[in-house]
Amino acid sequence: MHIRRRKPLALVMLVVCYAGWGQSAYAQPWIPSAGSGKIKATVRFYHSDSLFPQTSFSTTTTPTHSKLSETQFRIDGEQGIGQGWALVYQLRAALLTKSKPKASYSAGGLQDQQIGLSYGLRQRAHFADAITVNAIIPTGRTSTTPQLGTGALAVEPDYEVGVEHNFGSRLAYAGLSVGPRIYVRDGVTQVRASAVAGVGLIRRLTVIGTLFFSKTLASNALAVSTTPNASEFYNILRGGVGLEYAVTKNVRPLIAYQMDLAGQSIHAGSRLVAGVSWRY
């Protein structure tokens, strides 16, 4: 059996800015004004043919005959509703395929949806923080193979903080979001964090990237091979890098590449992301 070790990438993460103009676009934790907002539509192609170890969180992977592929359609949005509040949402649907040497299984449809409210705390030109409370609604089916959802309602309170700085006409941005995801039916808890940073390269081009981490704390989370709440066990470190191009001030196509850098008892794969964002 071949064992592969993934090298952590030196990633500098997501920036959302009006590149070249030294003028910031809102993004959490900056709360948009009432009537303003942003919608980002993406398609994500994921493929995995290896696994992280079952007993420890590691960068080591082993090849597996159980291959997993996913084509996901996702809409992320935020809508300012006034008085420092914003509605945020993440809507998902996907086609999943799990292939083995003697069989192949596919499932398609809605996945679990996420909707929440954000409230801005300190909202300054170059510093902002906010609190967001999300509900993860179990609209994905669990009767399919592979499963499309967890089958369980969860709540996720997050604290978000961001800073930005102008280097001449270029704007650099860094931010952090951290909080638990708590499944209501049994108290299984994941600690989740995402770090973002980046800088505008030229007048219209922005380098983007992401880091995401999740660690399951509760010992009663079932193993990946067990149902019904197998998906509650989610230990992963994922990184990504990409580019965003400003066709206009408000319309921006983007492309990104993401890789699972470390994990435990979960598939290890990579994802290509393409989409467009619209600010209004």
| Mean pLDDT of all residues in 151-171 | 91
Residues 126-152: tens digit of each pLDDT: 999 999 999 999 999 988 888 899 888
- Residue 193 predicted with pLDDT over 80: yes
- Residue 273 predicted with pLDDT over 90: yes
280 burial level (CB within 10 Å; 0-12, 13-18, 19+)? exposed
Residues 5-39: tens digit of each pLDDT: 665 443 333 333 333 333 334 457 999 999 999 99
Instruction: Give the lowest-confidence range in 3-7, 200-204, 232-236, 270-274.
Output: 3-7
For residue 81, give both structure tokens: 């509703």
Predicted pLDDT at 228: 39
| Mean pLDDT of all residues in 73-78 | 97
Round to whole Å and give the CA distance between 117 and 43.
25
Predicted pLDDT at 66: 85
Mean pLDDT over the full length of the chain: 86
Round to whole Å and give the CA distance between 275 and 240.
15
Which residues are registered as beta bridge partners of 157? 133
For residue 124, give both structure tokens: 């300054």
Any idea of the CA torsion for 24, 29, 34, 37, to the nearest 10 degrees? 70
Round to whole Å and give the CA distance between 19 and 166.
10
* Neighbouring C-beta atoms of residue 105, cutoff 10 Å: 12
237 burial level (CB within 10 Å; 0-12, 13-18, 19+)? buried
Round to whole Å and give the CA distance between 139 and 123.
34
Asked if 230 and 147 count as a contact pair (C-beta separation under 8 A), the reply is yes
Residues 168-189: tens digit of each pLDDT: 878 888 899 999 999 998 888 9
For residue 195, give both structure tokens: 């770090």
Round to whole Å and give the CA distance between 259 and 257.
7
Instruction: Give the lowest-confidence range in 18-22, 116-120, 225-229.
Output: 18-22
